[in-house]
Structure 1
């Protein structure tokens, strides 16, 4: 088995789904959002989590799809809150239709996500739903913190790392934990897989922060420097503020809130120059490596065949070395 086979199984199933038909303006945005693609990392992790403990992963397919639908629901609502014009290089749902439609279609996606869990074996269903609900609430907590950080000037690095753990990483951890649960892993193995996923999720988001500043525009799918222009309090900015000299800090603060169209390129270049002076790229990469190694430690503790765990190691490497 290789990862592409798991991806194909997920995409095949997604292509057959019907989220509803009428009214069309409620369901067309869902079909559109799900058609935008993406890496399908979370449902693939669910299948891989199941595969570690049994070659037969069929019982995990529909719950894995539920995870992916939930993930896309969060993206749809995040785009509204961020007023984002593009998602995966395409027009966002609230721009293509309108905000009210995007909110309502997203609500249906959340409902459908729960429905995809209903085929889980009765003795495992309560646990699966409890874990899913806890994870879903944590994702919302992370998004709320992210929004609150926009108006705060005293955000600390540890607060930011906790926020991305909640907003991004816990869903990766849950995806693996769910697959393990469905194929009868021990609680200890399921917990190690969850921790592996969480640490990889933090590394994944830090990589995303890094690509936003240092990525290749033609590969990244959104404007490079977007976080700088929006004054987003990423690990890079918070680390720069912590390590900056008085002069550098003053310059960084002068650029905050400045977004005249004619100044956008200059702002990105000026902030990036300070990042380069402080080696923020190297410091961020060190953090990525730190969480990657922590994750691998937990994966190594899982009682499963190394040949199967190698699939997860390979996927983790792809995620933290990606350029888009």
Structure 2
């Protein structure tokens, strides 16, 4: 068993999902969103976690896909809130259709996620649904905090890490925890799996912050520099605001306050400030701290080493990704 096999099983199952036909304006955006692909990190993590404890991992494909459908629902709504033009290198749903269509189609995706959980054993349902509901609430809490940050001048590093721990890391944590729950792993291991996912999730978002500024457009799939254009309080901006003095501080405040600007000029100017302040290195150090914590949790799992290696290799792919 390897990650390629897992991804193939997932993609075949996702392609065969039925959401409904009429009215087409409700269901076409769902099929479009799910057809854009993406990394499928979360369902892959669920199945790799289940494989640690059972050979019969394929029977948990639909619950794993429930996590992916929910994830895409959150992306569809987040893109509206962020006014994002691109998702995975393609027009976002609200751009291709409109905001109202994207909101309503996203609502149906959330319902579809719950339907996919019905494949679980009846005795597993209460625990899984409670954990999923907790996770879903945390994702929404994180998104609300992220929007709150847009309205305040100063955000601390601690507050930012707490926000991404909810918005991004909670779902990665649940994805791995779900794999442990459905395969009846020891409770200690389901806790470790959740902690593994939460740690790599924070590292994952910090890497996303980096790639938004320093990534290649063709590989990243989203608008490079979008966070700078939007004055988004990422780890990089927070550290720059803490570190900048003199001319760097004046220039940074100038670009943050400027209402009308050429996007490319602003991105270039702020990126140059980041480079002078070594912000990239600070972000990489914090990111690697969380990745190391996640790998430490993986080592402590009570599972066969050969099976842990499959999960370890996939986590390493996440750590070294370029998109």
TM-score (norm 1): 0.97
Q: Does 1:320 align with 2:319?
A: yes
Query: Which residue number in structure 2 is paired with residue 221 of structure 1?
Result: 221
How many residues were matched structurally? 323
Instruction: Give the aligned partner of residue 289 of structure 2.
Output: 290
Runs of 4+ in 1 over 6 A off after TM superposition: none
Matched, 1:84 2:84: yes
Q: Which runs of 5+ in 2 are unaligned?
A: none
Deviates more, 1:240-249 or 1:11-20: 240-249
SS in 2 for 1:212: helix
Partner of residue 275, structure 1: 274
Q: Give matches, 1:31-110, under 5 Å.
A: 31-110=31-110
Alignment partners' CA distance in 2, 1:264 and 1:321 = 28
Whole-angstrom distance in 1 between the partners of 2:155 and 2:297:
29
Partner of 1:199: 199
- The correspondence of residues 296-307 of structure 1 with structure 2, limited to 5 A, is 296-307=295-306
Structure 1 residue 259: deviation in Å?
Answer: 4.9
Give the distance between the partners of 1:148 and 1:196, measured in 2 at CA. Answer: 28
State the superposition RMSD in angstroms.
1.1
Q: What do residues 204-255 of structure 1 show as CA deviations (whole Å, max 9, x unaligned)?
A: 1111100111111221112221111111100001011111224322221111
Q: CA separation in 1, counterparts of 2:221 and 2:59?
A: 34
Q: Deviations over 1:13-67 (max 9, x none)?
A: 1111101111111111111111111010000011011000011113311101111
Work out the CA distance in 1 between the residues paired with 2:76 and 2:265: 31
Offset of residue 260 of structure 1: 3.0
Q: What is the aligned partner in structure 1 of residue 7 from structure 2? A: 7
In 1: Cα distance, 2:305 partner to 2:260 partner? 54
With 113-122 and 263-272 compared, the bigger mean Cα shift is at 263-272
Distance in 1 (CA, whole Å) between partners of 2:226 and 2:27 is: 31
1:317: how far off? 1.6
The answer to whether the 8 A contact 2:240-2:277 is kept is yes
Quote the Cα distance in structure 1 between the aligned partners of 2:288 and 2:306. 23
Deviations 1:244-285 (A, max 9, x none): 224322221111042535x32221122111111111111111
The answer to whether the Cα contact below 8 Å between 2:207 and 2:287 also exists between their aligned partners in 1 is yes
Per-residue displacement from partner, 1:62-104 (whole Å, max 9, x unpaired)? 1011111000000000011111111111111111111111111
Q: Is the 8 A contact 2:86 2:223 kept in 1?
A: no
- Structure-2-length-normalised TM-score: 0.98
Structure 1, 242-251 or 132-141: larger mean CA deviation: 242-251
Deviations 1:136-155 (A, max 9, x none): 00000000011111111121
Give 1:180-191 correspondences, 5 Å limit: 180-191=180-191
* Long gaps (5+) in structure 1: none
1:139-158 equivalent positions in 2, closer than 5 A: 139-158=139-158
Secondary structure of the residue aligned to 2:67 is helix
Contact 1:288/1:320, CA 8 A, preserved across alignment = no
8 Å Cα contact 1:47/1:61 also seen in 2: yes
Q: Is the 8 A contact 2:210 2:280 kept in 1?
A: yes
- Quote how far apart the aligned CAs of 1:311 are: 1.7
